[in-house]
Amino acid sequence: MSGESQTDGDRSRRNRDISRPDRGLRRTAELVGLGVTAVVAAAMLGFVLLYWARDLPVASDLYAAFRSFGRGMDAAFGTNVFRHPIMWQSMAVGVLVGVVAPLVGSFLVHREMALIGETLAHTAFAGVAIGILVTASTGWNGSLLLVALVVGVLGALAVQWLTERTDAYGDVPIAIMLSGSFAVGTLIVSYGDGLTGVNVQGYLFGNLAVVTPEGARLMGALSLLVVAGVALTYKQLLFITFDEQAARVAQLNVTGYNTLLVVLTAVVVVGAMQVLGVILVAAMLVVPVAAASQVARSFRETVYLAVIFGQLSVAGGFAVSIGLGLPSGGSIVVTAIAVYLATVVGSGFSVRAISSHG
Amino acid sequence: MSEIVDLDDVTFAYGDTVAVSDVSLTVEEGEFLGLVGPNGSGKTTLLHLMLGLHEPDAGSVELFGRPVEEFDDGGRIGYVSQKATSRGGAMPVTVRECVTMGRFAHTGRGRLSTADLVSELSGGQRQRAYIARALASDADLLALDEPTVGVDAESRDAFYALLDELNDEGITVILIEHDIGVVTDRANRIACVNTKLYHHGDTESFVESDALVEAYGTTGQVVHHHH
């Protein structure tokens, strides 16, 4: 070590000392927030699995215990919510959406690809419509979401194909894709109207009652997929997000990672559509990330805070939705925007604090 | 001395608009090449062709002695794009995150705290963070596309002094710079383009030639040969 670099070290250590208590507190709060999120998400995954296995010997006892716990919660809050497994399924989906949507959204927002989420939601809606048509005309008793997932992923690949060929994520092909797939969806829904009793409005605006046990299981599996996908490719996605051309020069498979990101987005959107609705689903990809970017001190912190803010939005939104009997999608998005406004106000103060240092 | 970049009769068009026409030039190891030309003259496109970001419509490109489409050792090139330079303010990324994007961690040369946000650095410091990233993989070639846009004069001088230092250590530098004065001060070779190559040679011969007037005073459509 040269004398010069030691001086550098001393200097930066001193700088760190000044801000250490503040930063330490903040870091602790974030870790607690993430920890709570992880525990809640794991518990929700556990519930989904337990509900699935409720007829098996040990699971049935556990499930019975869980049901009485739910009744206890209802008694404590004076509600008629937690005793119903379907509500827990919705909450499970909500909690998982609160994790994976901001996770993927962190990259989308900073690549200025926010509109992609919106587009894929509309494509997935066409998928739901196709699913309704297929189930009605063939009597096939499959999951609408599964059809939506397939159509959504195909839509993602189409978007990727279009953008590769139109240079950059141009607005026009994306807008055509967005309204085009929605138009197809409405045509199919209208054609198949009356064939099934499926609640299309639930998919449009989000409804806690739309979530089926299958939907919750699908969301659970997709969430594990998305978290693993992002964790394994975090560094590459960050590099591409920050400077795509430099990443290309560094011989990263940019097209491959872009495709992965768009497909993960489709996966998130299909899962989130159940509680948020087609029209509002993009908000969970964007708003918590916008809030986190207001206050974050690094990209990693942006991702952490986005997940925490996403979780707060889901929890707050569910409280409003359950308490006032309002649609879940709108409640969650309005809560997310409240969190965002709070960070704008908060960062306003911290900006002032920073400038007073200098 | 080996050839780092070798362009042979390269032509590239965006649709019907020819951006680079019949350009042949080589960049030798250890060179500091300044790439100059008026706005829209195809400087960035030419750099992209050198780095394999565009495929030429005609002609061939070699990078480190291999056809560019077969080149796979991305760690040998440090590239700072024009876009990266202009977007530093939008995304919350620390200096450490920026530098380690270049794959392996090595803190670079600047005296920056690696926990600082790139968006809160001064223009000159920000450039150094980008350079550190570009060098983090032990690059032999540094390709910079107008790295000092929006940077104050003093920081810019410090930045170019750093580039000189790196070049003295043997790193090949290709620099796109709109300020002709700066390039002729720093680079030892100049390529002057406006769709076609108007001049390629050492800095002294460029200063004495009329390539500058030719390139800036005519459009790319007019065919002139003054080699």
Res A357: pLDDT: 29
In this prediction, residue A102 has a pLDDT band, given cuts at 50, 70 and 90, of very high
CA angle (B202 as vertex; B197, B206 as ends), nearest 5: 60
Which range among A50-54, A123-127, B94-98 shows the weakest confidence by mean pLDDT? B94-98
pLDDT above 70 covers a percentage of chain A that reads 87
Which range among B20-29, B125-134, B163-172 shows the weakest confidence by mean pLDDT? B125-134
pLDDT above 90 covers a percentage of chain A that reads 36
Residue A330 lies in a domain: yes
Res B223: pLDDT: 38
Query: Looking at chain A, how many residues does it have?
Result: 358
Res A5: pLDDT: 38
Mean pLDDT, residues B106-124: 60
Chain A contact set for B54 (CB, 8 A)? none
Res B85: pLDDT: 60
Shortest CA gap B81–chain A (Å): 7
Cβ-contact B101, B133 below 8 angstroms: yes
Of A16-20, A111-115, B210-214, highest mean pLDDT: A111-115
Using the structure block, give the residue that is written with the tokens 């964790």: A231
CB atoms within 10 A of CB A335: 22
Q: Which residues of B touch A (CB under 8 A)?
A: 48, 51-53, 71-75, 77, 79-81, 83-84, 90-94, 96-98, 100-103, 111, 113-115, 117, 120, 133-134, 137, 143
Which range among A166-180, B139-153, B212-226 shows the weakest confidence by mean pLDDT? B212-226
Residue A4 lies in a domain: no
Instruction: Name the closest residue on chain A to residue B116, using Cα atoms.
Output: A297
Residue-range definition of the domain harbouring residue A77? 33-357
Whether the predicted pLDDT of B154 surpasses 90: no
Ordered alpha helix ranges (H), chain B: 43-51, 82-87, 95-100, 123-135, 153-168, 180-186, 203-208, 211-217
Res B176: pLDDT: 92
Identify which has the larger pLDDT, A112 or A255: A255
In this prediction, residue A237 has a pLDDT band, given cuts at 50, 70 and 90, of very high
What is this model's ipTM?
A: 0.76
Q: Which residues pair with B67 in a beta bridge?
A: B62
- Which of B48, B101, B128 is the best mutation test for A, with the most CBs of A within 10 A? B101
Whether the predicted pLDDT of A356 surpasses 70: no
* Tally of domains in chain A: 1
Nearest Cα to Cα of residue B88 among B21, B167, B150: B150
Residue A153 lies in a domain: yes
Per-residue HEC secondary structure of chain A comes to: CCHHHHHHHHHHHHHHHHHHHHHHHHHHHHHHHHHHHHHHHHHHHHHHHHHHCCCCHHHHHHHHHHHHHHHHHHHHHCCCCCCCHHHHHHHHHHHHHHHHHHHHHHHHHHCCCHHHHHHHHHHHHHHHHHHHHHHHHHCCCCCHHHHHHHHHHHHHHHHHHHHHHCCCCCHHHHHHHHHHHHHHHHHHHHHCCCCCCCCHHHHHHCCHHHCCHHHHHHHHHHHHHHHHHHHHHHHHHHHHHHCHHHHHHCCCCHHHHHHHHHHHHHHHHHHHHHHHCCCCHHHHHHHHHHHHHHHCCCHHHHHHHHHHHHHHHHHHHHHHHHHHCCCHHHHHHHHHHHHHHHHHHHHHHHHHHHHHHC
* Tally of domains in chain B: 1
How far apart are the C-alpha atoms of A91 and A66, rounded to whole Å? 15
In this complex, is the C-beta atom of A106 within 8 Å of any C-beta atom belonging to chain B?
no
Res B86: pLDDT: 59
Mean pLDDT, residues A10-29: 60
In this prediction, residue B19 has a pLDDT band, given cuts at 50, 70 and 90, of very high
Residue A13 lies in a domain: no
Shortest CA gap A243–chain B (Å): 5
Chain A contact set for B96 (CB, 8 A)? 298
* DSSP reduced 3-state for B137: coil
Mean pLDDT, residues A331-352: 82
In this complex, is the C-beta atom of A238 within 8 Å of any C-beta atom belonging to chain B?
yes
Cβ-contact A331, A277 below 8 angstroms: no
Mean pLDDT, residues B52-62: 93
Ordered alpha helix ranges (H), B60-219: 82-87, 95-100, 123-135, 153-168, 180-186, 203-208, 211-217
In this complex, is the C-beta atom of A30 within 8 Å of any C-beta atom belonging to chain B?
no
Whether the predicted pLDDT of B102 surpasses 70: no
Residue-range definition of the domain harbouring residue B133? 3-217
Chain B contact set for A249 (CB, 8 A)? 51-53, 74, 77, 79, 143
Interface of A with B in 72-91 (CB under 8 A): none
Report how many Cβ contacts below 8 Å link chain A to chain B.
Answer: 83
Whether the predicted pLDDT of A9 surpasses 50: no
In this complex, is the C-beta atom of A251 within 8 Å of any C-beta atom belonging to chain B?
yes
Mean pLDDT, residues B186-211: 87
How far apart are the C-alpha atoms of A211 and A48, rounded to whole Å? 12
Whether the predicted pLDDT of A32 surpasses 50: yes
Res A353: pLDDT: 31
In this complex, is the C-beta atom of A351 within 8 Å of any C-beta atom belonging to chain B?
no
Res B91: pLDDT: 80
* DSSP reduced 3-state for B47: helix
Residue A20 lies in a domain: no
Res B161: pLDDT: 85
Res B107: pLDDT: 35
How far apart are the C-alpha atoms of A87 and A339, rounded to whole Å? 24
CATH number, domain with residue B136: 3.40.50.300
CATH number, domain with residue A305: 1.10.3470.10
Cβ-contact A132, A195 below 8 angstroms: yes
Chain A contact set for B85 (CB, 8 A)? none
Torsion angle, CA of B180/B181/B182/B184, rounded to 10 degrees?
80
- Tell me the Ramachandran region of residue A277: left when phi exceeds 0, alpha when psi lies from -120 to 50, beta otherwise: left
In this prediction, residue B88 has a pLDDT band, given cuts at 50, 70 and 90, of low
In this complex, is the C-beta atom of A296 within 8 Å of any C-beta atom belonging to chain B?
yes
Residue B45 lies in a domain: yes
Residue A269 lies in a domain: yes
Instruction: Name the closest residue on chain A to residue B70, using Cα atoms.
Output: A251
Res A163: pLDDT: 77
Interface of A with B in 153-212 (CB under 8 A): none
Backbone angles phi, psi at B62, to 5 degrees: -115, 140
Mean pLDDT, residues B5-32: 93
Res B94: pLDDT: 80
In this prediction, residue A24 has a pLDDT band, given cuts at 50, 70 and 90, of confident
Backbone angles phi, psi at B226, to 5 degrees: -130, 50
Res A15: pLDDT: 43
